[in-house]
Amino acid sequence: MLEVEKLCVRYGKIAAVNGVSFSLNEGELLAIVGANGAGKTSVLNAIMGLVKVHSGRIVFDGVDITHLEPWKRARMGIVIVPEGARPFADMSVMENLEVAAMNIDKAEMKRKMEWVFELFPRLAERKKQPAKTLSGGEKQMLAIARALVGPVKLLIMDEVSLGLMPRLVTEMFKVIERLKREKLTMLLAEQNTKKALQVADKVCVMQNGSIVLEGKPQDLLDSEEIKRAYLGV
């Protein structure tokens, strides 16, 4: 479904991403892990079209999207939940979701709403509440719910568990597991390596703009050396 080939992203002279390649099949969950500044966000943003690709190629559903406008990628079903995503503060939970689901037909919208409220019961209890009065974790959930009510085929999430208290991190990963069971294709950037390894089908470890290691979580965890050097688990 997604092919990233020799991707390079630069900010002026800074080479943030240096020849990154990976592929993601339909229904798979790929986690990109790595320290602050490793280049994870830049990879995700390049796939969404939010940063310019210096060189390399991104192919989605057989279409070369390397230089396509972000809204066209969104129309193809690529959705990103950026780090620290915030819903519209003065709109209620329901209004936030309705805006996000604007482009789908009524019956589909109804089905999607039921689905996200089942995924996030906390939001179901707060439909009329203005988004600005939600807790940090609830805002994060609403940001994901907004991504899900649209026509999503590839869900990209950047550090969705960052800054959440442990109980909410667990809740967040439960939702990710559920989405995985429902065969949604997902790409995550995570600093919480332990959690990422628990849910991912494949893991890429990034360092200084490059993938230094990749494989199935179990294969990586089988090596003490890898665990110590790269995973910190």
Kindly state whether residue 195 participates in binding ligand ATP, applying the rule CB under 6 A.
no
Stretch that binds ligand ATP, among 8-16, 91-99, 107-115, 123-131 (CB under 6 A): 8-16
Q: Is 54 helix (H, G, I), strand (E, B) or coil?
A: coil
Question: CA dist 56 to 17, 25, 30, 38, 46, Å?
Answer: 11, 19, 20, 18, 11
The residue (of 38 and 179) whose beta carbon lies closer to ligand ATP is 38
Kindly state whether residue 39 participates in binding ligand ATP, applying the rule CB under 6 A.
yes
Stretch that binds ligand ATP, among 38-46, 84-92, 107-115, 130-138 (CB under 6 A): 38-46
- Do the beta carbons of residue 138 and residue 145 sit within 8 Å? no
CA distance 225 to 76: 41
The label of the residue with tokens 């050097």 reads 229
State the first-to-last Cα distance of the chain, in angstroms, to the nearest integer: 30
Kindly state whether residue 14 participates in binding ligand ATP, applying the rule CB under 6 A.
yes
Contacting ligand ATP (CB under 6 A), which of 36, 62, 167, 225?
36
Contacting ligand ATP (CB under 6 A), which of 2, 7, 40, 139?
40
Kindly state whether residue 42 participates in binding ligand ATP, applying the rule CB under 6 A.
yes
Q: How far is the CB of 39 from ligand ATP (least distance, A)?
A: 4
The residue (of 34 and 87) whose beta carbon lies closer to ligand ATP is 34
Counting other chains too, the contacts that 92-96 makes at CB distance below 8 Å and 24 or more residues apart are 92/127, 92/128, 92/129, 92/130, 92/131, 93/123, 93/126, 93/127, 93/128, 93/129, 93/131, 93/134, 93/142, 94/127, 94/128, 96/131, 96/142, 96/146
The residue (of 40 and 112) whose beta carbon lies closer to ligand ATP is 40
Please give the residues from 150 up to 179 whose contact with ligand ATP meets the rule CB under 6 A: none
CB neighbour list of residue 222: distance below 8 Å, 6 or more residues apart: none
x-or-dash string of contact with ligand ATP, 125-144, rule CB under 6 A:
--------------------
Contacting ligand ATP (CB under 6 A), which of 37, 121, 136, 163?
37
Kindly state whether residue 148 participates in binding ligand ATP, applying the rule CB under 6 A.
no
210, β-bridge pairs: 207
Task: Provide the binding-site residues for ligand ATP, judged by CB under 6 A.
Answer: 11, 14, 16, 34, 36-42, 189
